[in-house]
Amino acid sequence: MNTSSHSAIIAGSTGLIGKALTQVLISNKGISHIYALSRRPLGVSSSKLSVLEHPNLDIPPFKPDDTLPKLGFICLGTTRKQAGSKAALEKIDLDLVVKVAKQMAESGVRKLAVVSSLGANPKSFSHYMRCKGKMEEELEAIGFEHITFMHPGPLVGERENTRVDEILIQRVIGAIQPVMRGKLRNYIPISDREVAVAMNQVMSKEAISCVERLNSVQIRQIAKTSG
């Protein structure tokens, strides 16, 4: 699929990865237009950007002269601490993501890239990882031509609300990073921009398989080769 004749829609443009991805998409000359689904203004403007504001993140009907999006990006997610409860987290990381994905499919999206998490597994003992795994299962069942699930490790970037626990984890990992080998390298902190660049890149090429999952090592390599 050639992105040169397609527009894109992104949900989660105000989050850490979503902000970076919006800027990357704006800079991508191969994408003609971007629809940003958001609960509030983005604080960024571009002639190729249209903000779709809705409190429940529902995609409004497109106008007859609008170019329907063929590429979809979902960067929605929270933490147990931010959500306040397991049930509240599940409403965002599972229910909301599935709802938005279904609406994207109904709007014409054929290829989708979604930020999930390293360790996502529907049978995990961790509620968070279990939600991510169930989300992936439900999105696969929607019927997209292709889905890429991003499985980044610890994320670094400028957040609106600094997470003290993440800072501590990053410091610990930073100290032991020189001795991390094999699969442990997936736990080395990765930047929001690296994930954003990789998402843009994988959606700009022909899909080899219907579903792919990219870990931090793969994401970092794609971002590096993409410049």
Q: Where are the domains of the chain?
A: 3-225
Residue 38 CA to residue 21 CA, distance in Å, equals 14
Q: Which has the minimum average pLDDT: 69-73, 87-91, 109-113, 186-190?
A: 186-190
Q: Which of 53, 196, 206 shows the shortest CA–CA distance to 115?
A: 196
Residue 38 CA to residue 98 CA, distance in Å, equals 16
Residue 117 CA to residue 213 CA, distance in Å, equals 10
Please give the pLDDT value at position 2: 43
CA dihedral (131, 134, 220, 104) in degrees, to 10, reads -110
| Class of the domain covering 3-225 | alpha beta
* Interval 54-62 mean pLDDT: 94
- Tell me the β-bridge partners of 36: 10, 51
Confidence of residue 71 (pLDDT cuts 50, 70, 90): very high
pLDDT for residue 4 is more than 60: no
Please give the pLDDT value at position 64: 87
| Mean pLDDT, rounded, of the chain | 88
* 24-42 confidence digits (pLDDT tens): 999 999 999 999 999 998 8
Q: Are 10 and 50 in contact (CB under 8 A)?
A: no
